[in-house]
Structure formats: structure tokens, C-alpha cells
Amino acid sequence: MPSLTDPISISTITFERSRNGVVGTSEPRISWRFEGDAQDWYQASYDIRFKRTSGVEEYHHDTSKSIFVPWSSGPLRSGEVVEVSVRSVGPDGSRTPWTSARVEAALLNQSDWKADMISVDCKPHTNLAKPSRPFILRRHFDLPSISKPARLYATAFGMYDIKINGQVVGDQVLKPGWTSYDHRLYYQAFDVSSYLHVGSNIIEGHVAEGWYSGRLGFLGGKRNLYGENTGLQAQLMVGDEVVLRTDSSWTATRSPISYSGVYDGEKVDFRLAEDKLKELSVIVLDRPKAKFILDMAPIKRMQEISSKEIITTSSGKVIIDFGQNLVGWVRINTVPARVLPGDEIVLSHAEVLEHGELGTRPLRVAECQDTLVCGSDNSAFRGWEPTFTFHGFRYVQVDGWGGDVKLADFTAVVVYTDMERTGWFKSSHPLINKLHENVIWGMRGNFVGLPTDCPQRDERLGWSGDLTVFRDTANFLYDTSSILSGWLEDVAVEQEENSHIPPLVVPNILSRIYPQSPLRLAIWGDVAVLASLSLFEAFGDANVLAQQYDSMFNWLTQGIVRDENGLWRDKPEDTQLGDWLDPAAPPDFPGDGRTDPKLVADAYLVHVTRTMAEISRLLNKEEDALRFESEWKTLRQHYLDNYVSKTGRTVSDSQTALALSLQFDLLSDKQREVAIDRLETLVKKNVFKVATGFAGTPIILGVLAANDRLHLAYRMLQEKQCPSWLYTVSMGATTMWERWDSMRPDGTINPGEMTSFNHYALGSVASFLHNTIGGISPLEPGWKKFKVAPRPGGTVTSAEVKHLSPYGLIECSWHLKDEMLTVAVSVPPNSRAKVEIGDLDLQIGSGRREFVVKYKSDPRWPPKPIYNSMTIPLVDEIA
């Protein structure tokens, strides 16, 4: 019998993937987490109660399932609110207390939308040099009474912000977000009951170009990729009645914001009083053809950071250092002194300083400046922040302030998608801890509405390859289920227009800027398969696999250009990016690394084919599973014939080639022995510095650890010389960099045209920290069962990892002293773990436990490098 001395309770109830209980489906699936330390407790059944206006319904279900359970009641109606209560029943018949939560349906049918998409009558803005000017739409309306809850539903072509009676509605920013606008358009649902008055009211909608018609893309980019007219579509409902909607009866004026764009920033003119703003004519646009989708992963202000230091440069410029590379903007807290009407205050943003001055070259042609034109009354400065732009920055140069800049004058506002934090790590090694923190900040800055490559320069695009290599790390650190499942839907709809090829960037603006045959790339295209499976493994939602199955299937069967053996074709017109950003590649040719790009592509193809067989079987598509299994075996043999000698040497004698061959099970047992020995040699010859790019970096440490070379993995992790993970930390990095040497040791920015100081891809190393050093990894979808197997090494003497799984909080901490390893484990209720520590190998249920085992240090530590006798030895510096 399980012990109930520490009673189990349900901590949270969620509906689909919504954090606030508002859903866009009529039959939302329900999930709940547990808390409590009772040992070996699991759910044998559950009771569920639905409190609706029609009455109370109660059902009993004999199942241990507690995530994504089916909706037991009748379908929801648009706008309906239902109280749902759940209690779980343990194996001995004991019951948890009832736990309740409210679910609310948004607008479930396209026909529920009565509003028009409205805009203003003006010439299209075609000037690439500056963003367009926003406009404001207004409507006065009367409410004789407010006896029922009021909801506002809104979306836009562009970005929008809404005020009711002078109050900004909601806490979301950069609304409605960026999607494949021709196919899917996010809308937001707001509870506005507290904003309304009985009698006269006014609503104002502020609309800017955003991603819809603003400049997008590198090499100068283009404007108006989705359309020339920005617009707003909104309707206010009190109960079931539409009391206000956007239509031709609204009025419009120009905005006091002179311009606002994603790349270039925002300019506001405080001289423009409201009564001086030019009136504009309102027009009704064609109804959007896209499907309206409720935004369940909104972008919000998530944190504030105070100024840390004021720097006066050798050229006399004043720069604020916030101490952290972040994404968002600066809020002004005070009114500047000694400024006159017409004076301009300019805030210039950058991620780094170069030789003491603001380092703007990596921004390329993104201005990243916010400008404020002073008026006669500058009280509006206090609390000002931009509305329709964001920046990636640590440093802000302040020009034109008119007095001494003080730390209290400015605050940095951090914005990213509202995701629940689910992963934590710390150890006895402060530099490794800082590395992990940098990975987290890099992810935050690149999950602003969608997973991007970088958040600062004239790009900020949803590069699919970056997510492919970072997917597991992302899904450990945060609950990405909403943002990534939505993004994968965009992958699928864009893919259908792209010859079944997942685009390199999603939403796919590249095809609109550079119309040509779509590029077919391994890793980048493989996101359709690998990211979908990773979501399923992390969160246990098989619907993701079903939703994305056609996308995955079409990529493998129609998207890939193959040779006569079924591997990737290799003709002069074919391109692969391979082990992108291998540190040996020239600065301006980041794809020219040590590993044959086709070897990388084919290794991934074999792996993805095998993965597709597994997914097909999970979805009971046995015919497809058998097909892909057969193809995998054939492709694996062709890979061996093309790239691996009979003894196990790869044609590209590189760490990435060997690591891929080992990780993806492409070698015979005899070949594996040779390959791992050769990998060890290459690691030592490179003096433990990183020698991998996109393809090799996520797996190199794990491959070493899995093949009895844990000491080498730790040694690589603890290297401080460039290129290495801890080099960036030692150089003061607070996020992950795009290149291993984005900043040279002498303080010079890498000369390559492409250099970012906030790129999460190479932060995929954090998975090694979680599953090998920390010691936890999933064995069943959603962490229903997981492995506990911490592996101490290097100079790390203790570590702690936590993961908030769909079942509850998983914890594993350990410390090593005098060859005795003490491990404390916490398993959430309704889940179990496989413990592999020293000689222990056992299964455990829920609860807290401690294990103490003998653990001898590896006599091979520290490993010695191999120096070429003909060259000067490289520096070997361990952290």
C-alpha cells in the first residue's frame, strides 16, 4: 500500500495548452499536475465535475491518465464559461481534495466574427529607409447597462494596441504576433468588464505596420510582403450580444508616433497634441482569408532590469549598461532636464561594446533606435516606452538628454512569449552555471512569438534549423507546447505551397523576397519530423504527431531530392549547409567546415527515416512504419558504403562525422570501436576545444559520455580557450553567441558579415547538463517514466536539476565526497523512475528517496592533449 502520510493533491488544472483557461476549441482536453511526497502513489481513477448553466454533471473514469484527458461533457459554445473540478483516486481508494478551474470558450467559429477589417485611406508606404506611420481608429459608444461579462476579441494586419476609456487593454504586447498571415491569423480575447462604464465610452485602436507590412529580411529586405494596408478587426461582446464592432462608422487620425518598425525602432513626437493630428478616412478591407486562431502563447512584459552602470566613452558618448543582453525595450522613468521643443532624444541599442564604443556593426542595416521629439510639456516622458518595436541589447547609448544621465532614469523591459518555466540546473562549477543561465536568456530572447535565430539585426526570422538542434533543450527549460505547436502548423501550411519542403524560415518571407526554387536542406527541413517528436516526448500530446503527420510524411516522400540510392542528390545545383558554423569555417563562409555537407545531410536522412517509422507506429500506421523501417535499413547500408570504411573511419575525418555516425547508430559494433577511438584522438588533438557546428554541437558531449569517454566530455565542457562554451562565459557573455568567436579575445567583433551575440543554437549543450550531469531524461512521453542517472566527472562535485513535468516536479541532486555519491530524488505522483546510480538499477514510484553509493573518480581525469611534434603546442586551459 502506498504511504499517504504526505497527502497527494492536484495543484493545477489546465485546458489544452492554455495558461489562462481561455480556449479555441469546443471540447478542450484537460490536464492536471500533482503535488505531495507520498511514496508509490499513482492515480487509479478520477472523478470529474462540470458546472454549467444547464446544471452539474459528474463522471467517473477508471484510468491513470491525467494529461490531455478527453472532454466528458457536451461541446462548449462560443463565449461559454464552465467550472471544471477534478479529484483523483489512489490505488487504495483514497481521494485527493477536489480542485477546480474555469474554462472559457473564445470565438469557436469563423461565422462568430461580425466585425470588419478596417484601415485608413492613404497611399501605400514603400520607402525602405523608414517605417510607416501608425494610425489610430476610434469609436464612441453608449452602454445602457453592463449586467453580463464583457469580452473584446481583436486581431490586426500589422500590430495593434487598444485602449478603452484611456486604459490599455490587456497585458499582451506586439499583438497579434507573427504567423503565416495568409493561412493563420492569431486573435486575442480580453476580459474588459472592468474597463467599461454605464453610459458613454470610447475605444481606440492603435495600428502599426509590424511584421505584416514592415521591412523584413536581410540584404535590405522588402516591405509589404503580406499586403499594403494594415488594419484592425475587433468586436466587443456583452454576454452573447455584439455591442460594438469595427466597421465604416469608426473615425481615424494619424498617430503621434512618427514611425515604428520592427528593425528600425520607434519615433514619437510630443509636439503633436491630439487635436492637431490629421484626420483620415476609414475604409473597409476585404475579410481575411486566413483562419482565425486564438493566441494561447502571447508575448508579454516578463521582467524588468535596472540600469547597472553609466559609461562615458572615449568619444564622449553616454552609454547605459543593463548588465544583461536581453530582448525588449527601455522605459524612461523621469522627465529630461534642459530640453527645448524640437530637441531629439535618441536611444541607440546594441548587444556589445567594441573597444569601449557601441558595437552596432552586427546590426547591419537595422537602426535599432528609439527617438523622442520634445514638446513644450514633456511630462509624457515619464513612463514612456515604445509600443510597436523591440530590440536585442545590453547597452543603450543616450544622445540629447540635456543633462546628466542617472541610473534611475531608465529601466529595461524584458519581453518574450509567456511560457511556464519548467527546467532548472545548478552545480558546484560557477562557470557552468553561468553557461546554463546564458542558454536560458538566449532562449527567452529568441522566443518572441516564434522561435527565431536572433532578436537584434535585420533578420529575426524563424529559422527552422536553429530549432531542430535546440528543440530538446527548449522543451526542458520551458513549456513550449503552445508556441511550437502553433509554429509547426505554420510549417505545415507553408510547406504545402513550397513543393512539400519545409521552409528555411517560418513564416516563409524568403520566398516572397527571393522568388526561386525552394532550397531543400537537411536539418532545416527535418524540423518537421524532429520538432514534432520532441514535443510529443516532452509533453505527451500525441495530437501533435497526428496534426503534423502529413507534413512529416510529405517531406520524406516528396520534399527530398534523392539520388539513385535514395540518399540526398549531390549535383552542382544542390546545396546543403552541413555543419553550419564549424569554428574552422571562414568568417564569411560559415558552411565551409571540416565535414562533407552531404555526409551530414545523409546521416540526418537515415536518422529521420528511422524516426518516421517510430512515429508511424505510434499512430498505428503500420503500413507506413514497415515502409520507413525498410527504407531506413537500405539507407543505412548506403551510408556505410559511401562514408565509412570497413574499419570505421569516416571519409570526413572530423568530430561531427564521427559523432553523427555514432549517435544515429549508423555503424557496426566493430566500426563503433574504431570510430570512438578516432573521435577521442581528434578531441585530444584539438586540445579539447570545440570543433563542431550546428550538426555536431548538440550531440558531441553526449556521444563521448555514452561511449565510455565521459572524462573527455567534461574536459571539453570545461575548456576556456576559444572556441569553447566557457570561452564565451569568460568573455563576459550573458547569452549564447552565434559564433564561437563572435567577440575576439582582443575585444574586436568577429569580422564576418553575420555575427550575433544572442543565438540559442549552440546552447543545445544544456541538454548534456540536464540529462548527464544533472542526470534526468524522459523514458516515456510526457515524463510519465524517466531515468535518473547522474554521472559526476571533471571538477564538478555536486549538481542539482529540476524539471516541472506534466505530472509534477522532478528533482535530482547529488554531491560527491570521499568517493561516496549521495543522490536525492523526488518523483512526482502518478509517475515513476528508473534509477541507475553506480551498481544500483531499480524502478521506483513517487516520493522522495536518497541513495548513497560508492563512486570512484575516473583515473583518466584530467585527460592529456595530443600535440603534433611539428607544431607549437596549443594552450590547454581547464576551468
How distant is the alpha carbon of residue 68 from its chain centre? 22
Identify the pLDDT of residue 4.
45
Query: What pLDDT band is residue 587 in, cutting at 50, 70 and 90?
Result: confident
This prediction has a pTM of 0.97
Query: What pLDDT band is residue 422 in, cutting at 50, 70 and 90?
Result: very high
**Which of 489, 738, 800, 811 is the catalytic position?**
738
Q: Ramachandran region of residue 611, left (φ > 0), alpha (ψ -120 to 50) or beta?
A: alpha
Identify the pLDDT of residue 115.
98
Average pLDDT over residues 57-73: 98
User: Which cell numbers in the block locate residue 707?
Assistant: 561511449
Considering only CA atoms, give the Rg of the chain: 28
Query: What pLDDT band is residue 1 in, cutting at 50, 70 and 90?
Result: very low
d(CA 106, CA 113): 11
Q: What is the pLDDT of residues 757-778, one digit of tens each?
A: 999 999 999 999 999 999 999 9
Average pLDDT over residues 684-698: 97
Q: State yes or no: is 738 an active-site residue.
A: yes
Q: State yes or no: is 274 an active-site residue.
A: no
Q: What is the pLDDT of residues 214-272, one digit of tens each?
A: 999 998 899 999 999 999 999 999 999 999 999 999 999 999 999 999 999 999 999 88
Contact 270, 345 (CB under 8 A): no
**Which of 459, 631, 680, 811 is the catalytic position?**
459
Q: Which of 493, 500, 508, 555 lies closest to 529 in space, CA to CA?
A: 555
Average pLDDT over residues 634-657: 97
Q: What is the pLDDT of residues 8-46, one digit of tens each?
A: 999 999 999 999 999 999 999 999 999 999 999 999 999
Burial class (CB in 10 A: 0-12, 13-18, 19+), 102: middle
d(CA 535, CA 540): 7
Q: Is a pLDDT exceeding 60 seen at residue 871?
A: no
Q: What is the pLDDT of residues 282-308, one digit of tens each?
A: 999 999 999 999 999 999 999 999 999
Average pLDDT over residues 390-416: 97
Percent of the chain with pLDDT over 90: 91
Q: Which of 358, 369, 344 lies closest to 314 in space, CA to CA?
A: 358
Q: What is the pLDDT of residues 332-355, one digit of tens each?
A: 999 888 889 999 999 999 999 999
CA distances to 410, 725, 872 from 589, rounded to whole Å, are 40, 22, 27
Identify the pLDDT of residue 128.
87
Average pLDDT of the chain is 96
Q: Is a pLDDT exceeding 60 seen at residue 3?
A: no
CB count, 10 Å around CB of 8?
A: 26
d(CA 300, CA 554): 35
Domains of the chain: 9-105 (2.60.40.10), 113-296 (2.60.120.260), 302-417 (2.60.120.260), 423-778 (1.50.10.10)
Percent of the chain with pLDDT over 70: 98
Contact 235, 107 (CB under 8 A): no
d(CA 639, CA 313): 56
* Location of C-alpha cell 483514497: 94
Identify the pLDDT of residue 217.
94
DSSP for 460-494, written as a single string: ---BHHHHHHHHHHHHHHB--HHHHHHHHHHHHHH
d(CA 151, CA 129): 39
Within 8 A by CB and 6+ apart from 455, the residues are 327, 390, 391, 392, 445, 446, 448, 758
Query: Lowest mean pLDDT: which of 73-82, 101-110, 816-825, 864-873?
Result: 864-873
Identify the pLDDT of residue 376.
87
Average pLDDT over residues 584-596: 91
d(CA 839, CA 821): 12
Average pLDDT over residues 704-722: 98
CA distances to 397, 483, 805 from 416, rounded to whole Å, are 23, 11, 22
